[in-house]
């Protein structure tokens, strides 16, 4: 198994991409900390995975709050003994055209999607540095690389994630810690489920593969970057988007 003996924190893992990653990581031998704000949903998903024989536990966290993040990381270490992998997957959207976007909605997305990545990474670095190894995987987006109409806040946060990824890759590489990012395209999740069918069909027409991605497509990219197969991959942004932005 590709992650045998490893301990992974996956934020935003109560549903969507994070949940798919949690199951795939557990199947590959990792002990998985499902870290999510939604306690009811996260507890249920952790219980379901544990019933399949996986070593999984739920940890409630608000990634935008430093005290909450630090407590979550402490609890994961107390439970599993170490942290080998952090997947900064948690994210939200509050879309609007620039003219109609409120400061509150702009800041909320920045707090979760950008500051949250900083806080979670900042919290795990001491233990990873002490053990001389670690994998940080950040979730960006094609919106953060190319921009997207109606997503000033989301695109700004995801672009910031790319910048932090490359900076941390340079800072932490000599400490045995690799830092990479995945930039998903349009994936079949709760976010895209809210998009009108007419718009979805227009989106599919722009994708060379002709369809949206599945959560497992992103989870498998996380798995590759978390595995020893990617031990010499550092500071990269892996696009998993069906070729939409070629």
Half-sphere exposure of 206 (CA within 13 A, CB side): 10
Angstrom distance (rounded) from CA 5 to CA 82: 10
Instruction: Point out which residues pair with 86 in neighbouring strands.
Output: 9, 136
Contact 134, 126 (CB under 8 A): no
Active site residue 146: no
Question: Among residues 37, 54, 146, 154, which one is catalytic?
Answer: 154
Q: In terms of C-beta density within 10 A (0-12 exposed, 13-18 middle, 19 or more buried), how is residue 228 classed? A: exposed
Phi and psi (nearest 5°) for 31? -85, 125
Which residues are known catalytic residues? 154
């Amino acid at each position: 198994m590709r992650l045998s003996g490893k301990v992974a924190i996956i934020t935003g893992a109560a549903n969507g991409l994070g949940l798919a990653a949690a199951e795939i990581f557990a199947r590959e031998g990792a002990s998985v900390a499902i870290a999510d704000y939604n306690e009811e949903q996260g507890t249920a998903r952790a219980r379901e995975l544990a019933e399949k024989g996986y070593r999984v536990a739920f940890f409630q966290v608000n990634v935008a709050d430093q005290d909450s993040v630090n407590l979550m990381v402490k609890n994961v270490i107390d439970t599993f003994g170490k942290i080998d992998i952090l997947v900064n997957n948690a994210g939200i959207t509050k879309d609007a055209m620039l003219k109609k976007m409120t400061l509150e909605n702009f800041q909320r997305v920045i707090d979760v999607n950008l500051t949250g990545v900083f806080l979670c990474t900042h919290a795990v670095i001491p233990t990873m540095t002490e053990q001389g190894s670690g994998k940080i995987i950040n979730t960006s987006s094609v919106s953060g690389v190319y921009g997207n109409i109606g997503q000033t806040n989301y695109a700004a946060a995801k672009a910031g994630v790319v910048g932090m990824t490359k900076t941390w890759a340079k800072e932490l590489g000599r400490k045995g810690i690799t830092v990479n990012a995945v930039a998903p395209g349009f994936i079949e999740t709760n976010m895209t489920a809210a998009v009108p069918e007419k718009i979805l069909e227009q989106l599919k027409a722009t994708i060379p593969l002709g369809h949206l991605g599945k959560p497992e497509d992103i989870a498998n990219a996380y798995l590759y970057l978390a595995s020893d197969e990617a031990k010499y991959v550092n500071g990269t942004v892996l696009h998993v988007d069906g070729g939409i932005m070629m």
